[in-house]
Structure 1
Amino acid sequence: MNRVVEMTVYGAEQLCPSCVNLPSSKETYEWLQAAISRKYPDQPFKITYVDIHNPPEDEEKKDFAQRVIEEDMFYPVVLLENEVVGEGNPKLKTIYNEMEKYGYKPE
C-alpha cells in the first residue's frame, strides 16, 4: 500500500426522502468504518463524516456539502479521494474495488 486514502461520507440526520428504510448517514459511516477495518486490518485509512447542513470550515468539504443539497443527491454520498464511489445505499464491493486500486489488500 502506498498511502493512506481519505474517505468522506456526506449526509444528514434526516433520511433523504428517497432513502426510506435505509440506515441513516451516520449509521452508514459507522458501518463503513467497521467493514473497511475488518477487510483491510492494519492498513490505515481516514474516514470523515460531514453533515451537509452543518459542514466544517474546510472549503472543499463545504462546497461539496452544498452540491449534495443543490443537486438533490441521494445521501449518504461516499467519496474516496474526492471521487464519488457511493450514493444513497453505497455498495461495499464497489468501495472495496476502489480501495484496492490504491493498493489496499484484503486479508
Structure 2
Amino acid sequence: MVGKVTITVYGADQICASCVGAPGSKDTYDWLQAAIGRKYVVDHIDYEYIDIDNPPTVEKHQQFVERIIEEDLFYPVVLVNDKLVAEGIPKLKTIYQELDRNEIHLQSN
C-alpha cells in the first residue's frame, strides 16, 4: 500500500537568529518541494507552510508554534506526518528516510 504524507514546514519571514546565512523558511519550503519532486512520485505528498508569527487557528498548529517558542527550536522546522524530522537547515537524507518509511514511491526514470 502506498503511503500518504503531509510535509509541514513551520517558519517565519525573519531568518532564525542562530541560522544566519541560511536560506529563509519560505525558500526552504520551495526547495524541499523541488528536491522531493525530483526523487519521489508526489501524488501522495501534501505540503503546508505555517507562519509561526501568524499561525492559523488550527489547534495543532498553534500548539506546535508554542513548542517552537518554548523549546527555542531553530526554524524552519520540518515535520513529516507530524513527526519532527528537521530544524534549522534541513538535511534531505533525513527527510528522504522518513518518506521511505511512509512508502512513498521513487520516481522511475
Q: Same fold (TM over 0.5)?
A: yes
Partner of 1:84: 84
* Unmatched 5+ stretches in structure 1: none
Letter matched to residue 29 of structure 1? Y
Mapped to 2, the partners of 1:66 and 1:52 lie a distance apart of 9
TM-score (norm 2): 0.92
Contact 1:76 1:88 in 2 (8 A): yes
C-alpha deviation, 1:66, in angstroms: 1.4
* Unmatched 5+ stretches in structure 2: none
Q: Aligned runs of 1:1-107 on 2, under 5 Å?
A: 1-107=1-107
Give secondary structure in 1 for the equivalent of 2:31.
helix
Contact 2:76 2:89 in 1 (8 A): yes
Mapped to 2, the partners of 1:20 and 1:4 lie a distance apart of 34
Distance 1:24-1:80 versus aligned 2 partners, 3 A rule: same
TM-score (norm 1): 0.94
Give secondary structure in 2 for the equivalent of 1:38.
helix
The aligned length equals 107
Give secondary structure in 2 for the equivalent of 1:43.
helix
What value does the CA root-mean-square deviation take over the aligned residues?
1.2
Letter matched to residue 60 of structure 1? K
Q: Percent identity?
A: 52
Letter matched to residue 38 of structure 1? R
Contact 2:3 2:104 in 1 (8 A): no
Moved over 4 A (4+): none
